[in-house]
Amino acid sequence: DALLPHVHPFVQVQLGGAFRLGALARAAAGIKFKPFERIAIVVGAEGSLLMYRFQDNWFQTDKLGLTYGLAYEF
């Protein structure tokens, strides 16, 4: 549902991994401004977490940032 006319919130979550290699998680949340039916301007925040094993030790790396773009929906 639209928060305001032509403004739609969104949330994306992705999880994955491999038994011996580690895990990956990614999430994004933001808003889409849809001035036309199939075109949207996207602005939001995105974060990811990667856990991996190297020489029998576990490590992790993470990222947090802003995301933006232009989307064409078909």
Which residues 6+ apart lie within 8 Å of 66 measured at CB?
A: 43, 44, 45, 46
- Residue 56 has a pLDDT of 85
72 token code pair: 């064409």
Per-residue pLDDT of the chain (74 residues), as tens digits, is 677 888 999 999 999 998 778 899 999 999 999 999 899 999 999 999 999 988 888 899 999 999 999 999 88
In DSSP terms, which residues pair with 31 in a beta bridge? Answer: 9, 43
